[in-house]
Amino acid sequence: MKLAIVTAYPPSKVTLNEYAYHLVKSFRQKESITEIVLLTDATPEAKDLNFSEVGCKVTVKECWKFNSYKNLFSVTKAINQTKPDAVLFNLQFMKFGDKKVAAALGLMLPLVCKLKGIPNIVLLHNILEEVDLKSAGFTSNKILQKIYNFIGTSLTKLILKADKVAVTMQKYVNVLEKKYLADNITMIPHGTFEIAEKPSFELPNGPLKVMAFGKFGTYKKVESMIEAVEKVRKSSGLDLEIVIAGTDNPNVPGYLANAQEQYKHVPQLTFTGYVAEEDVATIFNESAVVVFPYTATTGSSGVLHQAGSYGKAVVMPDLGDLALLVKDEGYRGEFFEPTSVDSLANAIEAIVTNDAYRISLGNTNYKAATAFPMERITDMYLEQFETIMVKKNEDVFESATLLDQ
């Protein structure tokens, strides 16, 4: 199979690029894949194809740009030129832009593949029905929320034109089947990127690092975390370092620079900036606890799976989808009320003051992470592609038989 993947890809700053890297890394090892064609956004730097493992050929074709109105046509042209046997879309609603028309045009691509008869699957990381638009930083205006929901429903209908839509939580399957009467939805878990053979629960000498990882500024806010750790320092007397690992969300440029200026008086506060793939393990391994300073959730959390793969204790907001994911996949952590700095401080303190508890949480999360390695996840996608292809062949045979008659 010559597999095309439509996605953002490192060093892109567009969302889901890291997930794409690990998808490609796993797909390359599959015997049934002869070539991977990456249909990616354009970046000034070369794409990261430095895989240590031997695998199939990877071809990069930069054919779209964030917020470009030409993406529908440029990606279609690239598909025509590369002639893949199947196409996988790595998507969320604002994948191709945060402008309504640009986003909608990009999300028409699965329909284009369907019309061309190319087997295609959309990996949809979130659904608008499960996003709190106010908390997630989209809008607090009730009228605008209704407009967003209408647009979201229309875009979902476009996405559902794909041969198959894969979502990462069973709850999403239930919502889409009930609301849209869709019969082409399947649940494929998020999966875990890298799994350490034996995570080390020992921490380096020096301050205990309390770390948050991601793209910040919308529903991921660092202010409450910084203030909570300051409270824990005073109440426990522990030597704690605050590590903010990652970058601004593309929709909120300058957010972290402003936070860094606002809290420049706070000691042992580190902003790492962009974390290259080869540095991710170090960032996690050196951390005593991973904090999720979220005010909302927009789908399955890649950071939670990463934390689990390194055997880390986590502190999470008591929010619907994240709490449900923890229950469904077997993760454990300390929960806090999203709007309460005191609640967050108590959750952090419960872990950093109790080493046995920290290690117990890390062990549980490692076991949860190992249940769905990316190798297993990509096998599930290949099984879905095989089912689609068999059905298409049967339909062709049936049509030919009818013509003969």
Task: Give the DSSP letter string of 115-133.
Answer: HHT--EEEEE---GGG--T
Residue ranges of the chain assigned to CATH 3.40.50.2000: 2-191+376-404, 208-370
Q: What's the confidence (pLDDT) of residue 144?
A: 67
- Helices 355-370 & 302-309 angle (0-180, nearest 10): 110
Q: What average pLDDT is seen over the chain?
A: 88
Q: What's the confidence (pLDDT) of residue 143?
A: 72
Does pLDDT of 405 surpass 60? no
Q: How confident is the model at residue 14 (pLDDT cuts 50, 70, 90)?
A: confident
What one-character DSSP code corresponds to residue 107? Answer: T
Which residue did the predictor score with more confidence, 230 or 305? 230
Q: Which of 6-15, 112-121, 126-135 has the lowest mean pLDDT?
A: 126-135
For the segment 213-230, what is each residue's pLDDT rounded down to a tens digit? 988 998 899 999 999 999
Q: What's the confidence (pLDDT) of residue 400?
A: 56
- The answer to whether 35 touches 56, Cβ cutoff 8 Å, is yes
Give the torsion through C-alpha atoms of 162, 380, 23, 117, to 10 deg.
Answer: -30
Structure token pair of residue 215: 């793209």
Collapsing DSSP to helix, strand or coil, 170 comes out as: helix
Rounded to whole angstroms, how far apart are CA atoms 324 and 275?
28
Identity at 338, one-letter amino acid code: P
Q: Which of 84-93, 220-229, 243-252, 292-301 has the lowest mean pLDDT?
A: 292-301
Residues 6 or more apart whose CB falls under 8 angstroms from that of 2 comprise 33, 34, 35, 37, 82, 83, 84, 85, 86
Structure token pair of residue 58: 């990877």
What one-character DSSP code corresponds to residue 114? Answer: H
Nearest Cα neighbor of 220 from 243, 194, 202, 246 is 246
For the segment 239-271, what is each residue's pLDDT rounded down to a tens digit? 999 999 999 987 789 999 999 999 999 999 999
Superfamily of domain 208-370: Glycogen Phosphorylase B; (3.40.50.2000)
Q: What's the confidence (pLDDT) of residue 92?
A: 85
Does pLDDT of 132 surpass 60? no
Per-position b or e across 245-281, b if 16+ CB within 10 A of its CB = bbbbbbeeeebbeebeeebeeeeebebeeebebeebe
Q: Please give the share of the chain, as a percent, with pLDDT higher than 70.
A: 91
Can you tell me the mean pLDDT for 121-128? 90
Whether residue 199 is preceded by a cis peptide bond, meaning omega within 30 degrees of 0, is no
Transcribe 155-167 into DSSP letters.
HHHHHTTSSEEEE
Q: How far apart are the first and last CA of the chain?
A: 33
Q: Please give the share of the chain, as a percent, with pLDDT higher than 90.
A: 61
The topology (CATH level 3) of 2-191+376-404 is Rossmann fold (3.40.50)
Q: H or E stretch including 320?
A: helix 320-329
Can you tell me the mean pLDDT for 36-60? 92
Q: What's the confidence (pLDDT) of residue 198?
A: 77
Q: What's the confidence (pLDDT) of residue 136?
A: 46
